[in-house]
Structure 1
């Protein structure tokens, strides 16, 4: 949290109440709450320098469109991209709506500011060969057989089921619907059913047989070396080692396995709506970016192979 000299106690109180409401009523994920709190923190840090004194409620009430544009210029000067700025504005509008509901400020001046268009960068998928290699040889750098089996199972879920790394690590034994499907809790607490193909289920079973820890029905399935829930950072570090061993680019991350799942399904003729459901996207427009990825791959292959290219 920020030092008290950055804002008044009253502003700190509104900040905590806003975050509590986002958590309890809107059920936003912990990662989203951290991001929203960071966005508000950046505004308050800017205002301290902009105004020359700690931020009080009156300052939040009196911000003008000129102040907001100065804040956006400050964010850009510190390297923020359009996507980050747009999310920041969304978070701050949420905070101002909360203040308006409590009768302390209105979002009028902020609503006059348009969010920048996102810099639409295409997801970087692995080739099918590299994705398969990451999973099949994913345990090659581990001395402990159960840890090797664990890492293979996690990566198999990201590529074979299109799971986010946080979704895979949040799985519990009770989330298994027989050996055919998984109940996944995604962003915003939304649940979806994801089918499990046999190789994924076999990888999970292999891990469970070898794992020295036996989690309860509601405990995290994947465990760290000391028995606690496995942390995403450990999976990311493992992927980093595998990238180095296999000579893969820095874009080969756990999330790239999810991108690869969607890209390869689409390339094989998968239905876009079905892929949307499997990924847990709220909007089809989010899934449609993979059509551009597939087109990019086709053009790349065309330019490499066509004799007149």
Structure 2
């Protein structure tokens, strides 16, 4: 990123911090702006064509492309509002279509094997993901002050706080003993979300990722309650449509439907 980009990008990122955006969000915006900077030497020359070239990377998944589009649009709106751009070229960007996702809960046998290989810290990380449904960034920032009795106050996307009851005594005792960050590190005193993801990925084989632990939590929670709204609150979703992508329909429900259809 050259000096011209650095000047405007830093001013924009400062505006995000001033608006109370979370550090993880600010870092995500900075990441995508660096990629956009590869397509034009000066942000004051951003055009629709520049944005479309930046978004046309063949290696991006639809969700990644949608996230990048959101960042580019936010930056262009800010540039236009500040008078640095005569018009906002992002207004002409086509929406990014994201195919409906399917839940991919990690199999119990794979999870148990990973727990058996994990050290104490890694075990706590896996349990927070698989049993608590926490995202990597939320796991990284677990702090003793956020635990009240056996309920963990979790600040997730958009700075929204949700309550996650912890039924694992192992987790409750570990958080209390920590007397601060559960996972100390170099990112504001705690581990980074990226490092948490790396630790989990080392223990999980093949295509099973840290996020499939959240899918496992959502699927098991729904199987035990059949309450999609409660599962959504547990996972920190604002829309039930999002929760549906985290829940694999229980086999007994499918069999009941099949029996009813054949009756």
Give the TM-score taking structure 2 as reference length. Answer: 0.81
Residue number in structure 2 paired with 1:277? 233
CA separation in 2, counterparts of 1:157 and 1:74?
36
For residues 103-130 of structure 1, the C-alpha deviation after alignment (integer angstroms, 9 at most, x for no partner) is 2225543212212201444242112343
Q: State the 1:165 CA deviation.
A: 2.1
Q: State the 1:43 CA deviation.
A: 2.4
CA separation in 1, counterparts of 2:87 and 2:224?
47
CA separation in 1, counterparts of 2:32 and 2:241?
25
CA separation in 2, counterparts of 1:241 and 1:43?
31
CA separation in 2, counterparts of 1:36 and 1:151?
29
Question: Which residue among 128, 138, 141 is the counterpart of 1:157?
Answer: 128
Residue number in structure 1 paired with 2:22? 29
Residue number in structure 1 paired with 2:249? 294
Q: Does 1:3 align with 2:2?
A: yes
For residues 123-149 of structure 1, the C-alpha deviation after alignment (integer angstroms, 9 at most, x for no partner) is 4211234334433x243xxxxxxxx23
In structure 1, the residue corresponding to 2:164 is in which secondary structure?
strand
CA separation in 2, counterparts of 1:268 and 1:215?
31
For structure 2, the 5+ residue unaligned runs are 258-263
For structure 1, the 5+ residue unaligned runs are 48-53, 140-147, 303-309
- 1:201-220 to 2 correspondences below 5 Å: 201-205=169-173, 207=174, 215-216=178-179, 219-220=180-181
Q: How many residues align?
A: 253
Residue number in structure 2 paired with 1:42? 35
* Contact preservation (8 Å) 2:102, 2:245: yes
* Contact preservation (8 Å) 2:223, 2:250: no
Q: Does 1:222 align with 2:177?
A: no
In structure 1, the residue corresponding to 2:163 is in which secondary structure?
strand
- What value does the CA root-mean-square deviation take over the aligned residues? 3.1
Give the TM-score taking structure 1 as reference length. Answer: 0.70
Which structure has the greater CA radius of gyration?
1
- 1:229-240 to 2 correspondences below 5 Å: 229-232=190-193, 235-240=196-201
* Contact preservation (8 Å) 1:159, 1:261: yes
Q: State the 1:78 CA deviation.
A: 4.6
* Contact preservation (8 Å) 2:52, 2:93: no
Change (3 A) 1:55 1:131: same
Q: State the 1:18 CA deviation.
A: 1.0
For residues 161-199 of structure 1, the C-alpha deviation after alignment (integer angstroms, 9 at most, x for no partner) is 111122122111111111x211111122221111111xx
Residue number in structure 2 paired with 1:183? 153
Residue number in structure 2 paired with 1:250? 207
